[in-house]
Structure 1
Amino acid sequence: MDVLTNLPSYSKNVFRKGYFSWLLHQCRGWGKFSYGLLVFNLVLQIFSLVQSFDVAPLQSVISFIGGNLSVACVIGISNRSGIQGWAGAISAVCIASVGFMAGNYATAWEQIGYLLFLDFFCILDPKWNDNIQAEKFESWLEWIAYIVFFGFAWAVLYYIFSLTSDPRVFLDSLNLAMAITGSLLELNRKREQYYVWTISSVFTIALWMQTMIQGDGNFALIFSYSVFFLNDMYAFFSVRGWFRSDTHTRA
């Protein structure tokens, strides 16, 4: 709301002198684990590109770009880096394109949602998460409320995408429902969103594995979401992990 009501002011965060140098500087000072994940993912993405290029060159290249930038986005969030906005926006376009090519329409629309309601605002306000105070659920009733919301969202999305030619509507609609639930938790600044994003990574890996087995995809997004999962585990078990920090959030 603050960005929308002060758009001319926030647009100056992009259209200013030295902006690209500033973006490059945002990739410095990260932890060794973060750089290690980036390199590890890059190696896996190169393997996927080489393995699938002869079969589907366009999809392979788009998946390669999306797989690398999506990991850069998530790791950027973990390091409170302003690079997350552009990395997230470009990767969202790539993953949405691959989703439409593969018939995973719910996943494609999920990425479009991230692009419109998250990435653009991160670009305009790169310090959006500097002063966020995450809160825990106050009672078990909140768990029930969000579980009911997830169940309702999944039922509606399953019905909507069952009307399309989506060949994997069960997992595809499930992932979109989890993304919407996780985004609602994030909007309300709840730490419990961590569980949703972690479980979502697992089911997204399952979706793209099924997609690959059925001949509509490759390893690229399987690898990137596996790296997401590793990043989640590190956030949970590290000394400054998820539940040990008052300001850490993930999108």
Structure 2
Amino acid sequence: MFDRYVDVLTNLPKYSKNVFRKNYFSWLFNQCRGWGRFSYGLLIFNFVLQVISLVQSFNAAPLQSGLSFIGGNLSVACVIGISNRSGIQGWAGAFSAICIASVGFMAGNFATAWEQIGYLLFLDFFCILDPKWNDNIQAEKFENLREWLYYIIFFVLAWGVIYYIFSLTSDPRVFLDSLNLAMAITGSLLELNRKREQYFVWTISSVFTIALWIQTMLQGDGNFALIFSYSVFFLNDMYAFFSTRGWFRTSHQI
């Protein structure tokens, strides 16, 4: 289950050569080529929305608006990079995680902030060191209803513990904030075990994250930037569900 992590951590000098090598940046740039029109369309669409959000909110909160703008654009680039099996996902994910975590702490969404730190440490870092992290991943279906039950119980218990922990803080939106972190942990566990059903969790998580940032904005602690980016995530999820190249039409993880 943890073989890839152990391999990278015990062979850091070897994997560090994937970054500190000649023409690395030109290789990284080339990772953004050859994507489908839908992917490029989502990037442009999200960028336009992010510019609108930045203009609308910059005067009131320049630092938070700037970080949201950067994080909103890079997070979408990361997700689309994952869909296209692109090596850009690691760096895009890392910088977006730093930006979104910073915004999360500023807004008081502490669970969401720690969620991003978790992505940075356990996903983005390894994707940077091992560009082939997502190669040859064979997704598996749940074999029976018992597996659904196990993960549902895990989610409920995780949410209960997380809710209790963050209710001890000044988090003003602890219900949705803790819910999102519990779903992220459950989705990551499904991803680690290469279960195809993780996509249901990530899609539902996008909906609740949109709700969290809408509530955050209405209470004066945020803006449209992350609402827009997570809405684009949701569109990407829908494409993965229904396109002929999507999640349920192929045997591998997209």
- TM-score, with length taken from structure 1: 0.99
Report the alpha carbon displacement of residue 130 of structure 1 after superposing the two structures with TM: 1.1
Match of 2:246 among 241, 244, 249: 241
Distance 1:82 1:241 in 2: 19
User: Which residue number in structure 2 is paired with residue 57 of structure 1?
Assistant: 62
- Over residues 220-241 of structure 1, what are the superposed CA-to-partner deviations in whole Å (9 max), with x where a residue is unaligned? 0000000000000000000011
Task: Please name the residue that 1:168 is paired with.
Answer: 173
1:209 to 214, 226, 239: 214
Is residue 231 of structure 2 the alignment partner of residue 229 of structure 1? no
Aligned-residue offset at 1:76: 0.1
Output the CA distance in 1 between the equivalents of 2:70 and 2:78.
12
- 2:49 pairs with one of 27, 44, 49: 44
After TM superposition, list the pairs within 5 Å mapping 1:40-189 onto structure 2: 40-189=45-194
Unaligned runs of at least 5 residues, structure 1 = none
**Aligned with residue 34 of structure 1, among 39, 58, 67:** 39
Question: Secondary structure in 2 aligned to 1:30?
Answer: coil
Deviation at 1:243, TM superposition (A): 1.3
Q: TM-score, normalised by structure 2?
A: 0.97
User: Which aligned runs of 4 or more in structure 1 are off by greater than 2 angstroms?
Assistant: none
Give the RMSD, CA atoms, in angstroms: 0.5
For 2:197 and 2:12, locate their aligned partners in 1 and report how far apart those are by CA, in whole Å: 31
Q: Secondary structure at the match of 1:72?
A: helix
Match for residue 3 of structure 2? none
2:20 equivalent among 15, 23, 28: 15
Match of 1:54, SS?
Answer: coil
Match for 2:170: what amino acid? S
Measured in 2, the distance between the counterparts of 1:242 and 1:131 equals 14
* Cα distance in structure 1, aligned partners of 2:148 and 2:97: 29
Q: Which residue of 1 aligns with 2:203?
A: 198
Unaligned runs of 5+ in 2: 1-5
Identity of aligned residues (%): 86
How far 1:158 sits from its partner (Å)?
A: 0.2
